[in-house]
Amino acid sequence: MEPPSGIALTVVMVCLTVATGVVDAITFLTLGQVFAAMQTGNLLFLGFGVAGQGGLPVLATAVSLGSFALGAALGARWESGLAAREQQWFPAGLFTEAALLAGAAAVAWGMDPAPGLPPGRRYAVIGLMALAMGMRNVTAMRSAPPDLTTTVATRTMTALVSGSVPGHDKRPGHGSRTAVRRLLSVGAMFAGGLLGAALLGLGTRPALVILLVAAFLAGTAAVVPALVRREHHGEG
């Protein structure tokens, strides 16, 4: 099954971007200066850590990078296989991501809002969350939503500014609908980080926040087939 299109796809991808912000808030603030989704940051952190500067973790960052790459490879093979058999690859990808995050929540259960997991459990949580985000990247790339990668915002911010009235560059595309979509993408990432940090600030256990994200993703995956059927019915 192909993902929904138009406004429905935009709404789904914006929601997934919010989820990404929450996930990276959890990993960075409670698991020790490491990201699950934003691997550009991890590459830089790994370089800084190997150079012995900033007290940044090397092993945790390497675990995230490796798990993300594995998730992308497995996600690409599995989702492309489902698509070749004309099966529901888009919701399947989201359900799998939700299951991996639920597994991470189970491993992290009992963890205080401040970093406190034994190293083995901490690396397992990081690995499962990065694995989920690697699969998410594949799901987002296969659905090809314009300006809505769900895991990074730099390119979208650049397109937003360069295609604006001050930038006046027509190559990235500009117009009210394009600007709104890009603003939603950037705003969703900010909102997700804010939400995740705020929940932690209220004393919510990280495992519970991860579990809430997993439940949200599973719910999103469950409504996707109905959205697609509604589109096809409207076209008919």
Mean pLDDT score, 82-93: 89
**Sorting pLDDT into bands at 50, 70 and 90, what band is 234?**
low
Q: Which residue has the higher pLDDT, 40 or 178?
A: 40
Within 8 A by CB and 6+ apart from 223, the residues are none
Mean pLDDT score, 136-144: 87
Q: What is the rounded CA–CA span in Å between residue 163 and residue 13? A: 21
Residue at 149: amino acid letter: T
Q: What is the rounded CA–CA span in Å between residue 163 and residue 159? A: 6
pLDDT at position 170 over 90: no
Torsion over CA: 179, 181, 185, 188 (sign):
positive
Within 8 A by CB and 6+ apart from 142, the residues are 79, 80, 83, 89, 90, 93
Class of 6-235 in CATH: mainly alpha
Locus of tokens 């796809």: 9
pLDDT at position 63 over 80: yes
Residue at 109: amino acid letter: W
Q: Which two tokens stand for residue 207?
A: 């495992």
Q: Which two tokens stand for residue 145?
A: 């939503």
Q: Which two tokens stand for residue 225?
A: 């087939």
Locus of tokens 């406004």: 7
Report CA-CA distances (Å) from 1 to 122, 138, 143. 36, 15, 11
Cα 171 to chain center, whole Å? Answer: 27
Tell which phi-psi region holds residue 4, choosing left (phi > 0), alpha (psi between -120 and 50) or beta: beta
Within 8 A by CB and 6+ apart from 235, the residues are none
Residue at 221: amino acid letter: A
pLDDT at 29: 92
What rounded mean pLDDT belongs to the chain?
Answer: 85
Q: What is the pLDDT of residues 101-132, one digit of tens each?
A: 999 999 988 766 555 678 888 999 999 999 99
Q: What is the pLDDT of residues 171-209, one digit of tens each?
A: 555 555 677 778 888 889 999 999 999 999 998 999 999
- Check: CB of residue 4 under 8 Å from CB of residue 12: yes
pLDDT at 32: 85
- Check: CB of residue 130 under 8 Å from CB of residue 63: yes
Locus of tokens 């990201």: 35
pLDDT at position 26 over 80: yes
CB burial of 49-72 (b: ≥16 within 10 Å; e: otherwise) equals: beeeeeebbeebbbbbbebbeebb
Start-to-end Cα distance in the chain: 17
Mean pLDDT score, 157-172: 59
pLDDT at 175: 54
> Where along the chain do its domains lie?
6-235
**Sorting pLDDT into bands at 50, 70 and 90, what band is 19?**
very high
